Amino acid sequence: MSFQPVLLWSDVLLWLLVFAVIGLGAYSGRARHLRRSWKRLGKSNVATAAATLLCAFLLVGLLDSLHYRQRLPDAPGQSEAVYAVEALSALDGLLSHLREHNERTYSAPLAARAFVMETEETTAGVTRVYPRLHYGGAHLEDESGKAIDVARRALTGVGLALLCTALVAGVVFRRKPQSDFAWRGVLSALLVLFLVACTLSQLAGDYHVFGTDKVGQDVLYQTLKSIRTALVIGLVTTLVMLPLAVALGIVAGYFRGWADDVIQYLYTVLNSIPGVLLIAASVLMMQVVIDTHPQWFSTSAERADLRLIALCVILGVTSWTGLARLLRGETLKLRELDYIQAARAFGVSSVRVITRHILPNLMHIVIISLVMDFSALVLAEAVLSYIGIGVDPSMHSFGSMINNARMELSREPAVWWSLAAAFSFMLVLVLAANLFADAMRDAFDPRHEG
């Protein structure tokens, strides 16, 4: 084989979560009350537009979760295949021109010359000039034609985007002419996605669209690679947090007594410890374990992945208390309702009461809290990486980009494009998640039935 598959724990967890969502969708299709809620959600243009944007981010993250190691050229007399130490992903393969076309140092977005002056020897002597980039705008013989070239490529991208959107709209309205599904929201989001993707694809072949960083690496490539880290932090941490919060919150509210006292004491103690300090201490201890056992890892990607998973577990264990408190309070109210008291009087077991009556009426709280927590966790990773206790430095993330841009902003002139790119993509991801969470709250809340 020309490549060797590499299986990382974060890849496995991310794909398992995707399959779990597909399974939940299949279950929802059979459950009448959930099917009604999903139908209400599908009638919202805001919800369908936000879901389309989230699916685009998820697609990028999944492509970046298919890892492999390339086979090295065979040496004379070599009998066994030898593979590279570096683990690449399917996204790396698609963006190989961005990954490989590195400059010496900083360059501004769409620039043809470096951002930093260098010494150059000419026939007139030694001078200080802004040198031409190796790849950015290298196809231009005359730099005065750069503006026309950029405009032509951008207009081509816009034309392709409009064509793709028109084709999708034709297929949709031909097959679903009377559907009450909010296709307008989907098409609006697709138009934006096509405009961004087609324009970037036209420009990124010969320009650094978002410029380059201190070591000359393309900022657009770093930004796209950071999406997977944000998704893993948000989704895997939610996977860790959800069982703890739901189980302990419902048990505390339903059984009350000593169980309620113990659980309240537990999350009160956790909340009394400064979260950043607890996370920092846990991450540093985990880093000591990683540093003292280098034999556990065959690639640097596996080492960085273990730290990422450890960070997800630590964030999950320290962030379940808010949801558990909400579920406890709601369960205390639900257990006093007449139909639940009647079920208990007829001898229905506590487990059945919880699964049939309590949990379904808490799902709107769980769903809205999880999606809102996803946004908070994406932002938390940026803060933790900014102060140096986040993901491994070798792993791309929005927080690492912001941290690296901290000193760049103090330059004169300031290097602003790394911060702007990370902030823009993170803003769209968090905003889409928040809008989708609001729509899901309205659709799944039992008080909005009817």
pLDDT at 174 over 60: yes
pLDDT at 422 over 70: yes
Helix 9-30 × helix 219-255 angle, to 10°? 60
Q: Can you tell me the mean pLDDT for 126-135? A: 80
- Which pLDDT score, from 0 to 100, does residue 160 have? 94
In the chain, the domains with their CATH numbers are 223-448 (1.10.3720.10)
Helix 363-386 × helix 219-255 angle, to 10°? 140
Report cis status (omega within 30 of 0) of the bond before 393: no
- H helices of 45-112, where? 45-63, 90-94, 96-100
- Which pLDDT score, from 0 to 100, does residue 446 have? 60
pLDDT at 243 over 80: yes
- Which pLDDT score, from 0 to 100, does residue 196 have? 93
Considering the chain, what percentage of its residues have pLDDT values greater than 70?
94
Smallest Cα–Cα separation from 9: which of 393, 392, 305, 395?
305
- Which pLDDT score, from 0 to 100, does residue 221 have? 92
Q: Sorting pLDDT into bands at 50, 70 and 90, what band is 158? A: very high
Any idea which residue has 């639900």 for tokens?
334
Q: Sorting pLDDT into bands at 50, 70 and 90, what band is 53? A: very high
- Interatomic CA distance for residues 234 and 51, integer angstroms: 16
By three-state DSSP, how is residue 122 classified? strand
Q: Can you tell me the mean pLDDT for 21-47? A: 77
Q: For 65-69, 82-86, 246-250, which range has the lowest pLDDT when averaged over its residues?
A: 82-86
- Interatomic CA distance for residues 324 and 248, integer angstroms: 6
Q: Sorting pLDDT into bands at 50, 70 and 90, what band is 189? A: very high
Distances (CA, A) of 115 to 104, 127, 130, 205: 10, 16, 7, 20
Give the CA angle between residues 440, 445, 450 to the nearest 5°: 110
Q: Sorting pLDDT into bands at 50, 70 and 90, what band is 320? A: confident
pLDDT at 208 over 80: yes
Q: Can you tell me the mean pLDDT for 284-303? A: 78
Any idea which residue has 């938390």 for tokens?
380
Greatest mean pLDDT among 75-89, 283-297, 329-343 lies in 329-343
Greatest mean pLDDT among 36-45, 50-59, 256-265 lies in 50-59
- Which pLDDT score, from 0 to 100, does residue 447 have? 58
Pairing state of beta strands 3-6 and 88-89? unpaired
- Which pLDDT score, from 0 to 100, does residue 389 have? 78
pLDDT at 177 over 60: no
- Interatomic CA distance for residues 94 and 200, integer angstroms: 14
Q: What are phi and psi of 212, to 5 degrees?
A: -130, 160
Smallest Cα–Cα separation from 326: which of 380, 259, 245?
245
Say how far residue 283 (Cα) sits from the centre of its chain.
Answer: 21
- Interatomic CA distance for residues 358 and 368, integer angstroms: 17
Distances (CA, A) of 352 to 327, 343, 358: 18, 10, 9
Greatest mean pLDDT among 218-232, 268-282, 361-375 lies in 218-232
Contact 334, 357 (CB under 8 A): yes
Q: For 1-10, 61-70, 116-125, 138-147, which range has the lowest pLDDT when averaged over its residues?
A: 116-125
Where b means 16+ CB within 10 Å and e means fewer, 5-23 reads: ebebebbebbeebeeeeee
- The H or E element spanning position 129 is strand 125-129
Q: Can you tell me the mean pLDDT for 417-427? A: 90
Question: How far separated are the first and last CA of the chain, in Å rounded?
Answer: 58
pLDDT at 118 over 90: no
Phi/psi region, residue 6 (left: phi>0; alpha: psi -120 to 50; beta: rest), is: beta
- Which pLDDT score, from 0 to 100, does residue 175 have? 66
Higher-pLDDT residue of 426, 447: 426
Any idea which residue has 């929005």 for tokens?
398
Higher-pLDDT residue of 238, 449: 238
pLDDT at 31 over 80: no
- Which pLDDT score, from 0 to 100, does residue 176 have? 58
- Which pLDDT score, from 0 to 100, does residue 448 have? 57
Q: How much is the mean pLDDT over the chain?
A: 83
By three-state DSSP, how is residue 89 classified? strand
- Which pLDDT score, from 0 to 100, does residue 180 have? 79
Considering the chain, what percentage of its residues have pLDDT values greater than 90?
16
Distances (CA, A) of 314 to 46, 91, 232, 310, 380: 33, 28, 13, 6, 12
Contact 67, 11 (CB under 8 A): yes
Contact 256, 284 (CB under 8 A): no
pTM equals: 0.87
pLDDT at 92 over 80: yes
- Interatomic CA distance for residues 133 and 216, integer angstroms: 10
- Mind listing the pLDDT tens digit for each residue in 335-378? 888 888 888 888 888 888 888 888 877 877 887 777 778 888 88
